[in-house]
Structure 1
Amino acid sequence: MRMSSMIVCKRTQPFLHNIPTGGLDMQILRPQPPKEKVVVVMGATGTGKSRLSIDLATRFPAEIVNSDKMQVYEGLNIVTNKITEEERRGVPHHLLGVIDPTSDFTASNFCNMASAAMKSIVSREQIPIIAGGSNSYIEALVDDDDYEFRSRYECCFVWVDVSLPVLHSFVSERVDRMVEKGMLEEVRKMVTPHVDYSRGIMKAIGVPEFDKYFRAESFSDEETRAILLEEAKNEIKINTCILARRQLEKIKRLRNVKGWRVHRLDATEAFRKCGEEGEEAWEKLVVGPSTMIVGRFLYNFGPKVYGDVTVTRAAAMGTAMAAASH
């Protein structure tokens, strides 16, 4: 059950006392308005960012703002791995499948649209959860040149991490599943003889890799087509793994160089397990700790979390989890 939206998710600023007023700008000394709170779910492709954002949005009064630069486009739902209506579990989503697939969507476009979405969400006394793998877009939004975002919002950054060997194996299997679900046919409908792979959604991993297959398909025998399809799938897997490494490097730079306070959750064991064991590991290693982190951030209860280490007592954990489920 989601938390009551009547709880105010803001942190008040301390009032300044006993400061001489002579020669000082009194505007500076006035209490600053409380900042709205925003949760940002980060991680490499395939680590479960969308899943975690839904898990959190069903525990807190929240709506989700997509920050994946390919998922903002309309179409190619299999290729871009858009979360389905059923998987959204009734949680409102913004910037998901709303942009013309032939247009270019820039970081500036994202900042403008995400800011508008967040203001709308906050006006309904809901918490914006920004979730997606385009960390350059998130950085442009949070660390804008005029400091407008930081002056208005306070952020809680949650990073879902999976060890690269395990993630690469998962990504490989996911590409195979995407092809089985109709990825090839989905791309075929979008490709034209003079397609430009440098614009819009056509830049997405999983589109240009099929170009050689489509060009040779009409005059190739079945064996040749099978070989070309396998080559395309392998190229998609390689490019996706390269993307994952770049995304991880970006997150580490934001954390270690720019000083963003990012809470890391290691989901590796959840990815190693299957079925019910995998679900239990996800709840224990990802959903539970992230609920604690976000609960403390929003309402100032629960354990303190520093980087990868959670400092808590069992009683405090039980109290936080109980509160977050009502």
Structure 2
Amino acid sequence: MKNVILAIESSCDETSASICIDGKVVNNVIATQEIHSKYGGVVPELASRAHQQAIAPVVKEAMADADIEMSDLSAIGFTQGPGLLGALLVGGAFAKSMALALDIPLIGVHHMKAHILAHFIEDPKPNFPFLCLTVSGGHTQIVRVDNFLDMKVLGQTTDDAVGEAFDKCAKLMGLPYPGGPMIDRLAEDGDENRFTFNETNMAGLDYSFSGIKTGFMNFLNKERMKNPDFVDENKNDISASIQRHLIDMLLEKLRMAADQQGISQIAIAGGVSANSGLRDKLKSLSIEEGWDIFIPAFEYCTDNAGMIAITAYYQWLAGDMAEMSAAPMPRMKF
């Protein structure tokens, strides 16, 4: 009998559903919420309403695409946290309702662990143990991964996530939301060594990005006082320079972690792992350090149900199910 898992992701501003059959993710349907662009960031209440509108059609499309009936489902996986409370409530309530109606198990998935296990959706796949740099709008972590469900955070941000730093710096430049991808595109035609910003150096493997954001804001304010058109005239070089600083901060700690742990299997995951500058510099560093590196396909970097599906599958094999009373956990611990 086939193991068929329906997975639902609704932690932020992507409504997504995926079908996983015997450990193979067969589709990954994503509905992106465009409404937030006019506000310069995700508005939690609007995200929740958009999830309510999109979740049934997205699930229906995923099941139809995989030629799966309700009676074929073995279990339902859903993002339990971390994430926006209202958004998690929508996905969790939908998953629970289906599981109760069908009398099948419910599997609560940790969003960041799912980002890491996205590496097991397609080949090539890392060998255990490996290190994973998880970088997103809400998290920045270096994680040691010893097995599918055995992971340990070695270092993490003490304040802002790197994805938030990208978006906030973009907003300070007057760029539209989401700003991180815009900085990445502008940086392609810029001089990354044109401008220098002060960085905060944390002890050990932890990060801090609040200081460079403040320094960047002060730099722009000072230059705009001298020339109101400074950003418009130098946006490519500014983008390249701030991106270089943020990426160098990420990779320096990753290099330290690899040396300390004696691990040469290196992966990146999360929305910021789609950044072309980060990918290119990681590839260059891997040649210097003799690393084997692993980067998921673009569709599995941003929030998606495919990563929830593969994680739910490994939890299913381990018998790690959730109670029907499982509550959403916006600050779910790793």
TM-score normalised by length of structure 1: 0.30
TM-score, structure 2 as length reference = 0.29
| Bigger radius of gyration | 1
Structure having the higher strand fraction is 2
